[in-house]
Structure 1
Amino acid sequence: MPKTKKIIAEPSLTDSQYYFSREMSWLEFNNRVLHEAFDPRTPLIERLKFMGIFSSNLDEYFMVRVSALKQQVEAKVSQLTSEGRNPQEQLDAICDRLRPMVIKQHRHFEQALRPQLANQGIYLLDYMDLNQEQRVYLQRYFEEQIFPVLTPLAVDPSHPFPYISNLSLNLAVVIQDPETEEEFFARVKVPKVLPRFLQLPENLQLQHKGQGGAWTGVPLEQVVAHNLESLFPGMNIQEYYPFRITRNADLELEEDEADDLMLAIEQELRKRRFGGSVVRLEIQSSTPPAVREMLIQEMSLEESDVYEVEGMLGLSDLMSFLALPRPDLKDAPWSPVVPARLRRLSQPTSDRNGPEGEDGEDFFSLIRKQDLMVHHPYQSFSGTVQRFITHAAHDPDVLAIKMTLYRTSGDSPILNALIAAAENGKQVAVLVELKARFDEENNINWARKLEKVGVHVVYGLVGLKTHTKIALVVRREENRIRRYVHIGTGNYNPKTARIYTDIGLLSCRDELGADLTDLFNYLTGYSRQQSYRKLLVAPVNLRDRMLSLIYREIENCKNGLPSRIVAKMNALVDKRIMVALYEASQAGVQIDLIIRGICCLRPGIKGVSDNIRVVSIVGRFLEHSRIFYFHNGGEDEVFIGSADWMPRNLDRRVEAVVSIEDPDLKKDLQEILGTMLSDNRHAWELQPNGRYIQRRPAADCPELSSQKILMEMAASSTT
């Protein structure tokens, strides 16, 4: 009999086996952050920074992501995620993966980093290690500076268990009445208004080879703990145990029912300060069962919500050591450069920004000649984007300035420039996104300041966050009106612009000016704009356009044309885009993804994603720029913008992505992507099992750090 041909079923690309959990992928990202604290190639104080970032990231993860999962469990939500887990199964998986990471973090700090700091003259001591003279000083410091701030809170039938504020560090104190021998429990909050680490005066510091920049100190909570007798006079202090809690801090806002969005958010912020339910309890491993059980019971927790650590709690405070004057233990300083085209302009005066050039050339004339792309922090934010807005604020020919504000600093020069523009009689409109998580209060403060000087302030659209980074300047020039635009990947924040990598386009292309005018009208008025000339806008056309670009590469590949996709972003979660990428891989399209954080796509699966490679770069700067490259049969198309490939960016946020059309700028972007793909210092390759392996240079190859290379390229452009 003839052999029957075996039919192999095509894989279903929606099957959960092809997707990683968003929550677990984020944990893997934070594990890569933690690795920088272990890597001996990272300068010592920078290792403390990464250890602090790891802890700070976890705080937000519990406040937002874990709390959301716990709410789903309480609501008996049984819906499976794309990777096939229900909410409780996700919480269980998080615990299983996270506990070893936390243990590893604290053990490394206590056993490796603290001794290494001591070897460099930085002594973070335990109170028990102090000599008598040092203890006397700290006792006096306690009485004068700490004691007046403390409020001991008893727990007994007449004193209910006190409210424990979010992210607060506390001491659980067990006290005995010497007369009745009865034991009581009290809580003492370690005050945040004082430094977490108290430095001893110079004459009491440990000597280290006479080296400058030495430091000796102790954790604040230990000074409080060893002086508890002052708080409970006449009582016997039996024992004390530090603990720290994390609460649900996500805002619950019903926008449709809010008559005044700002007022509604302010009310929610007050609730956040008091905090929602407790979602995590951190305690020292030496905490006895009785104290542990009481804390669990009083805060309505489960055993799985408790994280035991060895040593200090709250390691996010380690970032304060960055202030130490020890450049030998930090990254080499970096000063962002001004692009060569802008260096021809003289520096602006303090109260206006023009005229600038020797030949009357100003910022606007340079943009009229050719689009300008800026790359932070390699290039100066203050010398480019900030200068653009400041120049516009004082230019007598500028009629109007419009921009979006998602996150900015508390002392934003750009916002001060907009205030000056309004005072100069210009029409100024700013969309302030009040729902930018954990920046709501800062944005409310700026909104009020802007409104007071006559700036038109709007707060975005119901049901959508305005995440796009755009600015529009309208200028009268001779007999016409010309519009100048900035479209970027990062926030208008001069502080984060020094540590986040972001890209922006400055242009006066007519079609972009018209598109931004339409987009601002959509944001500030009543509009159902469904088409744009050059912009890709979410939630209008961005997803469909990205999908069409992917499917065009598929068709080109099937027709024998060269095809390739390179995409750099913060996160890849959107299932429709991932399915399209799988289909592109199956067609033979070569795909490289540079994804800093969450990636739910599973690369390297035979017959599904074997043409997809995923790398994550975790280094000195936070990779924040979004770049999308499509080969297009040799007619390359490159885009930058504010959107990741996530459902929230494509469906629930206003985003803008722009095509880069200048050939020189397209080459620059391709060079940036190529540099990042060649990284063998800070790059991690995602494996089919969900784990990441850090690249290491071969024995005969040099170490290539993409961020270092880009700094060197920027520095060489000034010579």
Structure 2
Amino acid sequence: MTRPVRPNFETPGVDITDDDPFVARTGSRYFNRELSWLAFNRRVMEEARNRAHPLLERLRFLSISGSNLDEFFMVRVAGLKGQQLQEVELRSVDGLTPSQQLSAIVADASNLADAQQSVWDDIRGDLTSAGIEVLEPDTIGGESGEWLERHFREQIFPILTPQALDPAHPFPFIPNKGSSVIFDLVRKSDGQAIRELVLLASTLPRFIRLPTEPARYVTVDAMLKRFAPLLFPGYDIKAAASFRVLRDSDIELEEEAEDLVLYFRTAIKRRRRGRVIRLEMETGISPELEAVLKEELGGSDALLTETGGFLGIGDLAALVEEDRPDLKFPPFSPRFPERIREYGGDCFAAIKAKDIVVHHPYESFDVVLAFLKQAAGDPDVVAIKQTLYRAGKQSAVVNALIAAAEAGKSVTAVVELKARFDEEQNLLWASALERAGVQVVYGFIDWKTHAKVSMVVRREGNEFRTYCHFGTGNYHPVTAKIYTDLSFFTADPRLGRDAAKIFNYITGYVEPVGLEQLSISPRDLRNSLIELIDREISNARSGKPGAIWAKMNSLVDPAVIEKLYEASGAGVEIDLIIRGICCLRPGVVGMSDHIRVKSVVGRFLEHSRIWAFGNGKALPNDGARLYISSADWMPRNLDRRVEYMLPILNPTVHDQILDQVMVANLLDTEQSWELQPDGQYERDEPGTRPFNLHRYFMTNPSLSGRGAALSAREAVPKLSLRRRRTPAGDGGAA
């Protein structure tokens, strides 16, 4: 039985078919960006209901959906709220004003939050059956109760600082994502009422594990309520309630900023004190305490509020760390490209012999680190240039660049300060790199440098050869274990020259002239993409097959969407694998009846950007035009970021990406959702021949990088795709 995920695109009170000419022109052609994102996060949450996953992995999906929703409010909703307060009437592509979007978001997000609570109730019961309990402190007695009180006195009490709320003690500042408990007390000696607030320090763990087996946990806020008499001796506790706030966490860049580093250091501090966007209060809060919190934290703006059972769904990730391998996915060890091993681990020799594509996380990110470490230690390497968007806290990439600089090589690092929520870490890395002698550049003020490119210049005989790495993901060793991405290594001189021009563009604003292989945004990537779609339109209109396959995270850009609608009208068959936001409305007769959209949500986060164009034949075919990219089809990627689009010309790499990666994504029936014309996502039925693309790549070798190791015994199973032609997605893949 399929379980539809129903984004609330037709929210009561938001009329997208009224008499306004803008709405009438656009509303029926596009889904709302924010509501489409909420629909994606609901699909993430639905994996917590998927009993095909181990129990703690289901809990992980639930916690991810909670963290995602927090960030959505801190950034997207905060932006809309700012527009509303400034009376900005800029409409979204589907024709809604900021106020209309906020109205729709409130309703849809509230439904999603209620669903998260329901899923948590179900999982909590399953955890109890599996020997992992989350208890109320009042239910714990005997030796365990004594241990709990002792732990509170010794480990928690010293950290807590109660604050009275009265004219002499104004309401304190609550930091972003800060949790607190508010109390109404009565002094026993004279009956005097007093109100107190206790902020739970971020250093306190959300869950306390009792030192017993099976595993038993209590939340720190529940412990505080149980042992409040120890904190407030001589008082009767009349009421107590937990609450949590989310603040505006976006950073607006001012064009007149004279010192970008100083600006971001200041902006990060301001973000911690941003406007309250979301106030979460526990179920059962007294009307008096609720009124106080809304007055103190909501203000006259009446910002979004919610009452929930468990506050901070994202905090449930702590329970996933319980040592229960039987309740988690079996461990997976990624493969290292055999062809590099055949060259004795010499990355340069292997890449010089033939282009290589590495499919993460099935193939190890260690190959990227090995490439950079070899460059750092190779006396013939004279220069390294590297973009850093997100590198993580323990970055072997940064360490390799530091080692190279200390070895006397010319090292340039483009550090993107505008990588949201990584600004502070990137500032720290920039300082460390500069101390080591790396030339650190921060790129453009208005644009983010989102392209993932590494370039190594090596002296070979009497000439220099350039080796390049192009990635669809970040140089982040942690996310590389859970995000599906592609790493492309090449020594093609044309790509080396193009990469050098891109770095000169970022570091010196030198406009790239005569790019041989790459297209880049914001310069010409959208135009190149439109031209490729136009070629397919021309093929279809001349009687040849027209075909487009595209995989990405989000599809929002109106110009690209309209061009895809035009291609559908010409008869081009279009299959889109869009993990997250999709504003295109598929399967509408006369507009998009040749377009199908699916979303894959599973063990790994589908993150790679791959685009294929049939070039006069049905897909897949050997002559198809195939590209990888760092960009999604969104206005921000095409207009306000430095991105690349790279053609795949090597036949083996071409086959792996098109015939393996793309076909497997289209074949998947176990982790896939089909987007319907009305905006609903319906989970695919596995059918009699279920196919899980993540399992397939975990258990089968890749084509590229195998070299002589690709024996008949280890041959890659051939994938085949039965074409789907029905506009509403009634057909299937096999």
Superposed pair shares fold, TM > 0.5: yes
Q: Which residue of 2 aligns with 1:263?
A: 262
Residue number in structure 2 paired with 1:329: 327
Alignment partner of 2:111 out of 78, 91, 100: 100
Residues 178 and 236 in structure 1, CA contact (< 8 A), matched pair in contact too: yes
State the match for 1:632 in structure 2: 615
In the other structure, the counterpart of 1:118 is: 128
- Note the C-alpha offset of 1:474: 0.2
Once the two structures are superposed, residues 6-50 of structure 1 have per-residue CA deviations (whole angstroms, 9 ceiling, x without a partner) of xxxxx9996321100000000000000000111111110001101
The corresponding residue for 2:582 is 599
Q: Please, which of 351, 359, 364 is the counterpart of residue 375 of structure 1?
A: 359
Question: 1:59 aligns to what SS in structure 2?
Answer: helix
Q: How does 1:197-596 map to 2 (within 5 A)?
A: 197-202=207-212, 205=213, 214-254=214-254, 256-273=255-272, 275-301=273-299, 305-310=304-309, 312-346=310-344, 356=345, 362-382=346-366, 384-596=367-579
Tell me the residue number matched to 2:95.
Answer: 84
1:682 matched to 2:671? The reply is: yes
Q: Could you tell me how far apart the structure 1 residues matched to 2:171 and 2:73 are?
A: 23
**Could you give the per-residue CA deviations for residues 100-129 of structure 1, whole angstroms, max 9, x where no partner exists?**
22112112212x111111111111111121
Match of 1:130 in 2: 140
- Cα separation, partners in 2 of 1:25 and 1:261, compared to 1, 3 Å: same
Q: Percent identity?
A: 44
Once the 2 structures are TM-superposed, how far is the Cα of residue 703 of structure 1 from its aligned partner? Answer: 2.0
Calculate the TM-score normalised by the size of structure 2. Answer: 0.90
2:656 maps to 1:660: no
Q: Which residue of 1 aligns with 2:600?
A: 617
Q: Residue by residue, what CA displacement relative to the aligned partner does 1:74-108 show, whole Å, maximum 9, x if unpaired?
A: 11122321112111111111111121221121122
Secondary structure, counterpart of 1:608 in structure 2: coil
Amino acid paired to 1:81? S
Aligned equivalents of 1:24, 1:79: Cα separation in 2: 17
Find 1:697's aligned residue among 682, 686, 703.
686
How far residue 170 of structure 1 moved from its aligned partner, in angstroms, is 0.9
Contact 1:190/1:224 (<8 A) preserved: no
Question: Which of 69, 72, 97 is the equivalent residue of 2:83?
Answer: 72
CA contact (8 A) 1:401 1:428 kept: yes
SS in structure 2 of the partner of residue 265 of structure 1: helix
Q: CA deviation at 1:192?
A: 2.1
- TM-fit CA distance, 1:271: 1.0
Q: Secondary structure at the match of 1:628?
A: strand
Shift in Å, 1:609: 0.2
Distance change in 2, residues 1:31/1:224 (3 Å): same
**TM-score, with structure 1 as normaliser:** 0.92
Cα-to-partner distance string for 1:289-335 (whole Å, 9 max, x where unaligned): 1111111111135667111112x211211112222221111111111
Q: After TM superposition, which residue ranges in structure 1, 4 or more long, deviate above 4 angstroms?
A: 11-14, 301-304, 715-719
The separation in 1 between residues aligned to 2:101 and 2:542, in whole angstroms, is 43
SS of 1:300 mapped into structure 2 = helix
Distance in 2, matches of 1:107 and 1:514, equals 55
Would you say the 8 A contact 1:571–1:646 is kept in 2?
yes
For 1:234, give the aligned amino acid: G
CA distance in 2 between counterparts of 1:481 and 1:14 reads 56
Question: What residue is the counterpart of 1:651 in the other structure?
Answer: 639
Which whole-Å CA distance do the structure 2 matches of 1:191 and 1:79 have between them?
Answer: 40
* Deviating more after overlay: 362-371 vs 589-598: 362-371
SS of residue in 2 equivalent to 1:94: helix
Q: For 1:601 and 1:44, locate their aligned partners in 2 and report how far apart those are by CA, in whole Å.
A: 35
* 1:713 equivalent in alignment to 2:700: yes
The residue type paired with residue 190 of structure 1 is: L
CA 1:93/1:531 → structure 2, altered by over 3 Å: closer, same or farther? farther
In 2, Cα distance between the equivalents of 1:547 and 1:457?
Answer: 35
Alignment partners' CA distance in 2, 1:113 and 1:471: 44
Q: CA deviation at 1:587?
A: 0.3
Tell me if the contact between 1:34 and 1:54 (Cα under 8 Å) persists in the aligned partners: yes
In structure 2, distance between residues paired with 1:318 and 1:133: 26
1:350 aligns with none
Alpha carbons of 1:267 and 1:12: their partners in 2 closer, same or farther (altered >3 Å)? Answer: closer
Contact kept, 8 Å, 2:416 with 2:443, in 1: the verdict is yes
AA aligned opposite 2:397: I
Q: Contact 1:531–1:541 at 8 Å: present in 2 too? A: no
Q: Contact between 1:460 and 1:524, CA under 8 Å: does it hold in 2? A: yes
Secondary structure (helix, strand or coil) at the match of 2:664 reads: helix
SS in 2 for 1:448: helix
1: CA distance, partners of 2:595 / 2:514: 32
Contact 2:277 2:303 in 1 (8 A): no
User: Do the aligned residues in 2 keep the contact of 1:43 with 1:329 (CA within 8 Å)?
Assistant: yes
- C-alpha distance in 2 between matches for 1:253 and 1:626: 27
SS at match of 2:616: helix
Give distance in 2, aligned partners of 1:143 and 1:585: 68
Post-superposition Cα deviations, 1:588-627, rounded to whole Å, max 9, x if no partner, equal 0000000000000000100000000000000011111000
Secondary structure at 2:674 match in 1: strand
Q: How does 1:144-155 map to 2 (within 5 A)?
A: 144-155=154-165
- The SS at the match of 1:198 is strand
Q: 1:168 aligns with which of 157, 163, 178?
A: 178
Unaligned runs of 5+ in 1: 1-10, 206-213, 347-355, 357-361
| 606 and 500 in structure 1: CA distance in 2 versus 1, 3 angstrom threshold | same
Task: Report the counterpart of residue 44 of structure 2 in structure 1.
Answer: 33
Question: Which residue matches 1:142?
Answer: 152
CA offsets 1:388-422 (integer angstroms, 9 cap, x no match): 11111101110000010000121111111111101
Partner SS, residue 598 of structure 1: coil
Structure-2 change in CA distance of 1:459 and 1:610 (3 Å): same
Amino acid at match of 1:136: E
Aligned residues: 678
In structure 2, C-alpha distance between the alignment counterparts of 1:644 and 1:176, rounded to whole Å: 58
Q: Is the 8 A contact 2:23 2:94 kept in 1?
A: no
Alignment partners' CA distance in 1, 2:483 and 2:160: 38
**Does the CA contact (< 8 Å) of 1:13 and 1:582 recur in 2?**
no
Deviation at 1:487, TM superposition (A): 0.8
Q: Trace 1:42-81 onto structure 2 (pairs within 5 A).
A: 42-81=53-92
Q: Is the 8 A contact 1:590 1:612 kept in 2?
A: yes
Displacement of 1:531 after TM fit?
Answer: 4.0
The whole-number CA distance in structure 1 between the counterparts of 2:504 and 2:302 is 52
- Partner amino acid, structure 1, of 2:638: L
| Distance (Å, rounded) in 2 between the aligned partners of 1:548 and 1:715 | 31
- For 2:361 and 2:208, the matched residues in 1 are separated by 33
- The aligned amino acid for 2:500 is T
Give me the whole-angstrom Cα distance separating, in 1, the residues matched to 2:124 and 2:166.
39
Moved more, 228-237 or 504-513: 228-237
Task: Answer whether contact 2:276 2:297 (CA < 8 A) is retained.
Answer: yes
C-alpha separation between the residues in 1 aligned to 2:80 and 2:315? 27
Q: Once the 2 structures are TM-superposed, how far is the Cα of residue 530 of structure 1 from its aligned partner? A: 4.7
Q: Is the 8 A contact 2:23 2:96 kept in 1?
A: no
Three-state SS of the structure 2 residue aligned to 1:307 is strand
CA distance in 2 between partners of 1:284 and 1:217 (Å)? 19
Q: How many angstroms apart in 1 are the aligned matches of 2:504 and 2:112?
A: 48
In 2: Cα distance, 1:12 partner to 1:432 partner = 41
Give the Å deviation of 1:179: 3.2
